[in-house]
């Protein structure tokens, strides 16, 4: 019996139920992944007991000597991973990493340009319901109406017109490679600060599969989970000269004490991502996403932009007369976890949507490859074509469970 089972059996039971869901279901949420046992162990380590406000060598509490070492290791490894000059690993999330960059460089009311949330952007890039949208004068660019791909000439025209103080590039539901150099050039032309949010694609950038923003954008923010396959958290990369500005913005500007157990886990994650095996993993993530998208198209499901260059695909369900919400619920009943998502030309609310977002980081971490993606794509097509047939959903769930048994999430825990 574990300490948790002994001291709080109610919470222990909930955690076990979640373990069962993950072990015997397919996780296709593009923003999720599964960490290694080493990352999980560091996250749950004794490091969680310590307050360590400040930075290595400049803490506000005693007893931080070991925390200084691990934070320096995390920073050095992250810089090595992305060939960056300076890293801050203290942000609790990607959203707070973005807030820190805004707080450090622009003022309330300043004009910023960012990708529309309904066309693939992120909440923290200026959505009117987010603090970023409330503080700044946000102008949103989107994708081309026909191709559903970013039109850099149109983005440049908008920048010349609105003259932003900052241009944010990066997305949460955009299946194509982003040209960070083009964004950097547009920002330079209009005298704007360029910020790249690579939260979703950080692992692909680290592996050299997606082009890097490090040398062409002034600031780069990221999460440490998603394709990077680490603990939930954020980080900021920048040039050495901007380091003090960013560090001051994170602490004391926005946060108090850092989560040192998470920073220790980030250090482990960065070490894993520096291994040659990680490059092979990232390559397989993209291969899997492409095969999954192709299979979905073969099942008469429209794939936005016609395919994918990264870890995710976006489906338009409009032709089938079902909503993203309906599809999410039905697939959940079949043991396949996805999320409803807005699509270009969206006509429904974000709570209902006309689309689905599917991603391959987690299933790839389990060892699944192209053959399994074909099976998964066919299952998705089968469920969506029989959206109200619970017997079909049950049959697919049994097949899903059988496949998951062949690819244990954590072999020693099943």
Residue 85 a catalytic site member: no
Tell me what pLDDT residue 414 has.
45
Tell me what pLDDT residue 1 has.
78
The catalytically annotated residue of 59, 176, 226, 266 is 226
- Residue 306, pLDDT > 80, answer yes
Was 344 annotated as part of a binding site? Answer: no
Was 237 annotated as part of a binding site? Answer: no
pLDDT tens readout for residues 368-403: 999 999 999 999 999 999 999 999 999 999 999 999
Q: How far is CA 353 from CA 128, 323, 348, 360, 364, in A?
A: 18, 6, 5, 21, 27
pLDDT tens readout for residues 106-147: 999 999 999 999 999 999 999 999 999 999 999 999 999 999
Residue 19 a catalytic site member: no
Paired strand residues for 237: 87, 220
- In this prediction, residues 301-322 reach a mean pLDDT of 97
Was 117 annotated as part of a binding site? Answer: yes
The catalytically annotated residue of 27, 71, 148, 197 is 197
Tell me what pLDDT residue 411 has.
79
Residue 278 a catalytic site member: no
Was 210 annotated as part of a binding site? Answer: no
The catalytically annotated residue of 222, 223, 308, 337 is 223
- Residue 413, pLDDT > 60, answer no
Residue 110 a catalytic site member: no
Was 123 annotated as part of a binding site? Answer: yes
- In this prediction, residues 305-313 reach a mean pLDDT of 98
Residue 68 a catalytic site member: no
Residue 53 a catalytic site member: yes
The catalytically annotated residue of 75, 165, 232, 357 is 232
């Amino acid at each position: 019996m574990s300490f948790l089972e002994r001291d709080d059996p109610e919470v222990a039971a909930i955690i076990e139920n979640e373990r069962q869901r993950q072990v015997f279901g397919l996780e296709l949420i593009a923003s999720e992944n599964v960490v290694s046992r080493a990352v999980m162990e560091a996250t749950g380590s004794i490091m969680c007991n310590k307050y360590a406000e400040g930075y290595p060598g400049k803490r506000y509490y005693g007893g931080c000597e070991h925390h200084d070492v691990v934070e320096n290791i995390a920073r050095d490894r992250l810089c090595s991973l992305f060939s960056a000059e300076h890293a801050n690993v203290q942000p609790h999330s990607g959203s707070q990493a973005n807030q820190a960059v805004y707080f450090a460089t622009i003022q309330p009311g300043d004009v910023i340009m960012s990708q529309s949330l309904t066309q693939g952007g992120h909440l923290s890039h200026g959505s009117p319901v987010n603090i970023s949208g409330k503080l700044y004068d946000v102008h949103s660019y989107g994708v081309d109406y026909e191709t559903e791909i970013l039109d850099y000439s149109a983005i440049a025209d908008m920048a010349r017109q609105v003259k932003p103080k900052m241009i944010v590039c990066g997305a949460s539901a955009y299946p194509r490679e982003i040209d960070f150099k083009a964004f950097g050039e547009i920002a330079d032309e209009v005298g704007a600060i360029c910020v790249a949010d690579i939260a979703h694609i950080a692992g692909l950038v680290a592996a050299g599969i997606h082009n890097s923003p490090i040398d062409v954008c002034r600031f780069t923010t990221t999460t440490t989970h998603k394709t990077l396959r680490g603990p939930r958290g954020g980080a900021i990369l920048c040039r050495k000269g901007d380091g003090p500005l960013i560090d001051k913005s994170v602490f004391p500007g926005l946060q108090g004490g850092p989560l040192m157990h998470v920073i220790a886990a980030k250090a482990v994650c960065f070490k894993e991502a520096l291994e040659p095996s990680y490059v092979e993993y990232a390559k397989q993530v993209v291969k899997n996403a492409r095969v999954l998208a192709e299979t979905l198209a073969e099942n008469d499901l429209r794939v936005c932009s016609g395919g994918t260059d990264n870890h995710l695909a976006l489906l338009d369900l409009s032709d089938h007369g079902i909503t993203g919400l309906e599809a999410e619920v039905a697939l959940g009943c079949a043991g396949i976890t996805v999320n409803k998502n807005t699509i270009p030309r969206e006509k429904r609310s974000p709570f209902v949507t006309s689309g689905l977002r599917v991603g391959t980081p987690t299933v790839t971490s389990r060892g699944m490859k192209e053959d399994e993606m074909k099976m998964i794509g066919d299952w998705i097509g089968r469920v969506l074509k029989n959206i109200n047939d619970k017997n079909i959903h049950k049959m697919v769930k049994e097949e899903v469970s059988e496949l998951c048994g062949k690819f244990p999430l954590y072999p020693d825990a099943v």
